[in-house]
Amino acid sequence: MSSFKVALVAMDDDEVPDCVYKSFADAGIEFVQEECVTASELSRVAADADLVWIFGGGSIVSAETIPLLKNCGAIIRTGSGTDNIPVGEATALGIVVANTPGAHDDEVSDHAIGLMFALIRKIALHDRKLRSGVWEIEGPMPNHHVVGQTLGLVGFGHIARLVAKKMRGFEMTILCSDPFVSSEEMSANGVESATLDTVMSRSDFVSLHSPLTSDTHHLIGKRELDLMKPDGVLINTSRGSVVDEAALVQVLMEKKIAGVGLDVFEEEPASPDNPLLKLDNVVVTPHTAGQSDLSHEKQWRLSVETAISFSKGRWPRSYVNRGVNPRWELSYG
């Protein structure tokens, strides 16, 4: 491509690092950055951009505004989830939707495992009690063990594969439900392919790693939760709406499952009145699973590398709309 323009139109961070400007300048790429809140702002900043970049949770690029991106051949969403991008509309227009799951893979997989241990060892509960002055040795004791138990994964992308790899040392049986991954590929990664119902019913611990799409909205509802063992534990570090939160509250209050670890909620920020925050068998964090001392630099670096790949006519390392017929001729390698 003789000239290439990148427009960063939504950003969670406070400022763009200097290295981003330098990398684009060295690659001969025109780079503009402006927080676009209205359709007219998006049109002014990005109508002529080859690539539009969303850093984080911005939603200015929607089904209604994407036709304004008349020159766009690619959208980058920094992070793994693309539920704030109109993937279907982009695909129909020949726009590749890329993401950067590698920026958070280790962090989110570590966090999912951490939530699981915080629950089953009752770390969070005893921490709260001890800080309130209660030294309760005879109180709620850990009533789970990990070695030899069954871990169920819903979704088998980058993060779920790392969870499986890291938990394999506990001699666990690992089941996984993912309609887009073959049983042969799962087996090669030491995981047994299973239906969603089997994962929910056989697993001692279930960890959710599905992207949020129209097909996965409330994928885990009352029916699926009722399949879980009474001492089963559910972990969600994917997206809040993958789980029917009202149904989750119900099964927890009825003690039909042992506990839940959540980094994500259907509505964020979570309301202080959310009943999940009032239950002792729930451990929560405020959508921070992807953060670490390394993640910030990786987010920027992988996004820039993805943009430069596009500028050179190459497919990116990761993209989500596999059936897209791109506006540009792209090669691998």
CA distance 107 to 104: 5
Tell me whether residue 238 is exposed, middle or buried, using C-beta atoms within 10 angstroms of its C-beta: 0 to 12, 13 to 18, 19 or more.
buried
Contact 240, 266 (CB under 8 A): yes
User: What value, to the nearest 5°, has the Cα angle with vertex 41 and ends 35 and 44?
Assistant: 115
Q: Report the run of H or E that residue 175 belongs to, with start and end.
A: strand 173-177
Contact 206, 228 (CB under 8 A): yes
The percent helix, strand, coil of the chain (3-state, each to 5) is 35, 15, 45
Contact 301, 285 (CB under 8 A): no
Q: Report the run of H or E that residue 209 belongs to, with start and end.
A: none
CA distance 221 to 154: 13
Asked about 107 being catalytic, the answer comes back as no
How far is Cα of residue 8 from the mean position of the Cα atoms in its chain? 21
Q: Which residues contact 176 (CB under 8 A, 6 or more apart)?
A: 152, 153, 154, 155, 156, 160, 164, 186, 191, 192, 193, 194, 199
Q: Which two tokens mark 8?
A: 């960063």
Q: Which residues contact 87 (CB under 8 A, 6 or more apart)?
A: 97, 213, 320, 321
Asked about 239 being catalytic, the answer comes back as yes
| 104, 144, 209, 239: the active-site residue | 239
* Backbone Cα Rg of the chain: 22
Asked about 268 being catalytic, the answer comes back as yes
CA distance 296 to 56: 12
| 77, 144, 161, 287: the active-site residue | 287
Catalytic residues: 239, 268, 287
